[in-house]
Chain A
Amino acid sequence: MKGRNGSGKTTLFNCLAGLSPYQGQIKLSGIDLNKDPGTYKLRVNYSQSEPTFPEFLTGQDLIDFFANLKQAKASQIAHLCGALGVDQFAQKPCGSYSSGMVKKLSMVLAFLGQPSLIILDEPLITLDKEAQDVVTQLISQEHAQGTTFIFATHQDFENELIKASHIYEVKDQSLKTVS
């Protein structure tokens, strides 16, 4: 998903994830977000470009909260937290995190459960090189298991592991197919 700053990519993602109000219908494999939000949100995960969480909640609070709702297994939580190094700071309140740490936490939350669609808004910004590689690996592995991804990125994100099958552009409040 491409588009200039302010074109509406994040607004579109927020609507698709059920975080912002919208007009019309949003459906995934016949499941309507408005009519069956529980089932829909179980299948759609989301990481915001600049995620923020209440400063007094710990990373662990949020991981437990999302893991419960997304029906994630303990082994999956341990694997994701270990891979991104979130287990090292999860017991501390979010207010003490750097932007990179919040982004890592947000990435863990985005991969929890068995979603069929993961939306990642600027997935690599603020992450260090090591974490960027881990995220790329995670995307590749999940995609190989049948998960669809939607990205928005201003970076040249495509590499050997990740190839975009479709490119769209948000422009003049509408979605245009680029390729």
Chain B
Amino acid sequence: MKSIRVVLFKSLVKSFYQANAGFFLVVVFLGFGFLKTPQHLDIAIALAYHPSYYLFVLVPWLMYALKTLQFARNEKRLPSYQFLSYVSMVPKPQRLRLVMAVQAALLAPILLYSSMLVVVAVQQAQWLSLSYLVLGNLVILFIASRQLDRLIIQPVDPKEVGSLAKWTGKLPRSYSWLFIHHLFNRQAVVLLGTKVISLAVLGGFIMIYEVESTDLRLVSLGLLLSAGINSILSFHYRQFEQKDLKLFRNLPLSPDARFVKVILTFTLLSLPEILVLYLNGVMAIPLLFLLKNALLPISLLCFYHALCYVRPVNAEQFVKLPFFSVAILFFVILGHVDVLYLSTTLMLLSWLLYRLRFTAFEWA
């Protein structure tokens, strides 16, 4: 049974955390950067005394559980994961225990946070809250495990097209659009999740600016953070190039021409942010500022993509790049550096890295 557990953990748990390293970075940044331990304890005490508030906590936990299941579903659709259906050969009671262990590992972040809430509820002797909390977690774990079991053992037709891909099938198929098709077909949840968080952050910063109406740097900082959130797309683009676009290296295209296509891809991917920026800020923000700032997310995404050419990086190594660069650029923007200079410098650096490293890296 150990060998089956090893394969399931490597295929579903380890790869989930690797693929979602950027997501966890954002959660840690938002959840533990703005809120410190005393605030978390205050929240836990408030929850302990008002059990109905757990409903608000259960909503993001349920969404997270759905995210884990969506990941497993996407993996299972890949031909290389078809063999997981053989797990159906394991007797049902053993299999359910095994799958529950896998699902518990996938739900580890919320189970760990729940443990803290449990400890606080016990300390406050709030037994009703404690029972709600334990029951809520157990229900999520059991239902998610049941679904995961079905996903693992049920055969999947890899030719089946996702519902989002059906709608996007008519988009152009030129080189710059290929990664976008890949996202819609294979990583729709990553794309959707990234855009929802990124747009919420950007929208929040624009709202604060509109209320304060004093400092335009707030809008730039919002764009910077949303670009940091989108950075995971640069990593996925590089992986897509390495796995699925190998033959395209054979095309008679210069590195410069390829770089232009990369810029176009990231421009297309940044359109939602640019649109939100314009639609929300057109009345309150000067047009020239909007135009200059629109370049920031595109140049940053190009920069992260170009950095992947410097040396091979896995997801864990990659997340350090946006983490540290956003932290540095945050203070650069606060230092009144014009965003246009910043974007131009980042774009020039990306182009230089691309020119210097493309041939050596791709043909190594």
Which of A's residues lie within 8 Å of B, judged by CB? 14-15, 18-22, 37-38, 41-42, 52-57, 61-62, 64-70
Contacts and interface: CB of A to CB of B under 8 A. Distances in A.
24 contacts: A15-B155, A18-B85, A18-B86, A18-B88, A18-B155, A19-B83, A21-B157, A22-B155, A37-B88, A38-B90, A41-B86, A52-B79, A53-B83, A55-B80, A56-B15, A61-B6, A61-B7, A62-B83, A65-B4, A65-B7, A66-B83, A66-B86, A69-B4, A69-B86
Question: Top 4 A-B pairs ranked by shortest CB distance?
Answer: A64-B3, A52-B80, A65-B7, A37-B88
A70 B83 CA distance: 13
A19 B82 contact: yes
Contacts of A41: 86, 88-89
Nearest to A52: B80
A64 B6 contact: yes
Given A21-B157, A37-B89, A57 B82 contact: no
Contacts of B3: 61, 64-65, 67-68
Chief secondary structure at chain A's binding surface:
helix
Contact of B155 (A21, A52, A67): A21
Contacts of A65: 3-4, 6-7, 83, 86
B63 interface: no
Most buried by A among B87, B88, B154, B155: B155
Given A18-B155, A54-B81, A38 B89 contact: yes
Contact of B89 (A20, A22, A42, A54): A42
A53 B88 CA distance: 18
A14 B160 CA distance: 14
B336 to A, nearest CB: 46
B7 A57 contact: yes
Contacts of A21: 154-157
Interface residues of B, number: 26
Nearest to A55: B80
B80 to A, nearest CB: 4
B7 A69 contact: no
B243 to A, nearest CB: 9
Contacts of B173: none
A13 to B, nearest CB: 12
A173 to B, nearest CB: 14
Interface string B79-123: 111110111111100000000000000000000000000000000
Nearest to B6: A61
Interface of B: 1, 3-4, 6-7, 10-11, 14-15, 79-83, 85-91, 153-157
Contacts of A70: 89
B76 to A, nearest CB: 11
Contacts of A68: 1, 3-4
Most buried by B among A57, A67, A68: A68
B155 A20 contact: yes
Contacts of A15: 155
B1 A19 contact: no
A52 B91 CA distance: 26
A97 B145 CA distance: 33
A166 B308 CA distance: 54
Given A20-B156, A37-B153, A61-B6, 20 more contacts: A14-B82, A14-B155, A20-B155, A21-B157, A37-B89, A38-B88, A38-B89, A42-B89, A52-B80, A54-B11, A54-B15, A55-B80, A61-B10, A65-B3, A65-B83, A68-B3, A69-B4, A69-B86, A69-B89, A69-B90
A34 B82 CA distance: 17
B151 to A, nearest CB: 13
Contacts of A20: 155-157
Contacts of A42: 89
A24 B126 CA distance: 55
A28 B292 CA distance: 68
A120 to B, nearest CB: 16
Contacts of B154: 21
Nearest to A60: B3
A174 B336 CA distance: 71
Contacts of A19: 82-83, 85, 155
